[in-house]
Structure 1
Amino acid sequence: MTIAEASRLMEWGASTLQRLEKGQADRIRTIDIQELCRIYGIPAELADGLKGLAQQVPAMSWWHSYDSGGGIPANFDVYSGLEASAQRIASYQSEALGGLLQTTEYAMAVNRLGYPDDSEAQLERRVGLRMQRQVMLTKKVSPVLLDVVLHESVLRRVVGGAKVMSAQLRHLADFGTRDNVSLRILPFAAGVPLGVSTGPFTVLEFGTDSKGHPIEPSVVYAEGLSGELYLERRTDVRRYDRAHESLRDCALDAQASRQLLRAVAKEFITQ
């Protein structure tokens, strides 16, 4: 459907719809999103998620609750959409591996724990989608830049058994040799570099235009037991950027990190 066709059905001028699509609209009304979803034939579940997002547009931070609070359905996957658009991802993982680094077996073990009521077919679908996301790291043209700091506890925490962990750690060691991937281990010996405990977080950057201006504001993502927090305010993003830099500075370098990964992988095999 062209801009002209869609705007005519909305009884708008074409420039109004173009501004909305480019993120330049002064405001986004829920009723407009509802009508556009109807015109485009968007499934009701996805339309509900988009309307929920529209309600949160004026805020510089927003919350996706797993109990459907805030108008966004619990099963609406906000993060994957942002991740797929990112050009650089910087993350700190302190408890478990993020989806972009998981092997199929590790992902299956994590999903079995997270979704105990799912059937085997549903679990396989979840894992399949997670594996598809990893293509953004391995594609030949403009792969996403990934800068990860892993706490050593992630290496030691057993997910899926010793065999799964050994294969997972070897995978990490090999994956860290890619030109677009930086993977460093923060050892126990580093203590608490920030002076406070911090949970896992991810900073997503979306590139710059020809003038060097950000195409979209960077977003900080932090997941909790009851939902996901997204922060866009510049001061918040800078705070997490500095935290990631500090953690990275205290981590082992790339080569030492790979050596530790392979050493721990061998430990699992000998158990």
Structure 2
Amino acid sequence: MTELTVSRMDFGNFMRGVREDAHQTLLAAAAGLEVSRQVIMRMEEGSPTKLTGPLIKLLLANYGASAEIRDEALRLWSELTEQDKMAKAQGNSKGFWKAYTDQVAPAFPRFLRLEGAANRVLVHQPVIVPGLLQTPDYRRAIIRIDEPDLSAVNIERLLELTARRQVRLSEPGFRLDALISEAVLRHCPAIPAAMAAQLRWLAEIGERENISIRVIPWSAGPHRGLTIQPFTLLEFPHGSSGTALPTVVFVEGAIGSLYHERATEIDRYRRAVASMRAVALTETDTRELVLGLAKEYAL
């Protein structure tokens, strides 16, 4: 339920602002409620917590919030709890990805929650096709590289998870921008026939108005994409508070993952995006290159 996730993030962002205006640390805020620091942190990042209405009121009192700020916070909290009740009644309050958490890295469910709430996703990938654009056969080959002993049943579950993520591509108001290296097209994790089908799909889906796929050719010369890790930049719609939800950058590593939210960090990634866009092929030229390579794979 996208609205529920956005409401959680909106409420958490608002409460973070109230805490910072009160010049209180996470530790001090937690101590006032006799909860752990992680509880306050999770609330502010938009994750579900065990906090209740009375505890929210106590937290606002500890922050010394004005009546106007308190009323707005409680309005957002009421909106959140109502949506939570509706989601539970529909049986989907925990998100579709909960059924697959035993098959993904511990940090990935948070990414899936954020991806499900974002209205714009920009992905930089220098090695493999981004997950939202992978065909089943290509995805199956990638899974087998990472998990060669994974059972056929669990492979199919991961394919199902990818398919459910890809529903976003057809939702109104959602946009995907992908900046990929030419190496992505030439690396061959799957058999040639699967690679040909994958590239044909990239060319086809890239014609949608809400999807932009641009390749950075090997001939591009120096650019930030050569020195920065693969990342996904997620932007979100405004919450009902009227404030913009903070942009988040997700960086997935072989061992662990990072989330960046500070403005200075986001600016670095935006500058990297600008550097890559300056040397990337146009969407039309990208499509021609992709289809040409698809034909080579099909030979």
Q: Calculate the TM-score normalised by the size of structure 2.
A: 0.66
Query: Could you tell me how far apart the structure 2 residues matched to 1:97 and 1:238 are?
Result: 25
Aligned to 1:110: 142
Which has the larger share of helix? Answer: 2
1:143-158 equivalences in 2 (<5 Å)? 144-158=174-188
Pair 232,253 (structure 1): closer, same or farther in 2 beyond 3 Å:
same
Cα RMSD between the aligned structures?
2.8
Aligned to 1:83: 115
Query: Could you tell me how far apart the structure 2 residues matched to 1:211 and 1:76 are?
Result: 28
Deviation at 1:19, TM superposition (A): 9.3
* Match among 126, 129, 136 for residue 158 of structure 2: 126
Name the SS of the counterpart of 1:116 in structure 2: coil
Aligned to 1:208: 238
Pair 20,132 (structure 1): closer, same or farther in 2 beyond 3 Å:
closer
Indicate conservation of the 8 Å contact 1:91/1:244, yes or no: no
Query: Could you tell me how far apart the structure 2 residues matched to 1:197 and 1:20 are?
Result: 31
Query: Could you tell me how far apart the structure 2 residues matched to 1:200 and 1:20 are?
Result: 24
Greater CA drift, 185-194 or 251-260: 185-194
Query: Could you tell me how far apart the structure 2 residues matched to 1:105 and 1:19 are?
Result: 36
Query: Could you tell me how far apart the structure 2 residues matched to 1:20 and 1:256 are?
Result: 38
Indicate conservation of the 8 Å contact 2:225/2:272, yes or no: no
* Match among 11, 15, 35 for residue 22 of structure 1: 11
Stretches of 4+ moved more than 6 A in 1?
A: 18-21
Query: Could you tell me how far apart the structure 1 residues matched to 2:177 and 2:143 are?
Result: 24
Please tell me whether residue 235 in structure 1 is matched to residue 296 in structure 2.
no
Greater CA drift, 223-232 or 107-116: 107-116
User: Is there any run of 5+ residues in structure 1 with no aligned partner, and where?
Assistant: 1-17, 47-72
Q: Calculate the TM-score normalised by the size of structure 1.
A: 0.73
User: Is there any run of 5+ residues in structure 2 with no aligned partner, and where?
Assistant: 1-6, 20-28, 40-48, 53-83, 89-93, 95-104
Q: Specify the code of the residue in structure 2 equivalent to 1:258.
A: R
Name the SS of the counterpart of 2:224 in structure 1: coil
Indicate conservation of the 8 Å contact 1:111/1:127, yes or no: no
Pair 253,120 (structure 1): closer, same or farther in 2 beyond 3 Å:
same
Pair 236,115 (structure 1): closer, same or farther in 2 beyond 3 Å:
same
Deviation at 1:90, TM superposition (A): 1.1
Deviations 1:129-185 (A, max 9, x none): 11110111113x32x111111100000000211111100000000111000011100
Please tell me whether residue 93 in structure 1 is matched to residue 125 in structure 2.
yes
Name the SS of the counterpart of 1:146 in structure 2: strand
Query: Could you tell me how far apart the structure 1 residues matched to 2:149 and 2:109 are?
Result: 19
Q: Percent identity?
A: 37
Query: Could you tell me how far apart the structure 2 residues matched to 1:188 and 1:250 are?
Result: 10
Aligned to 2:298: 269
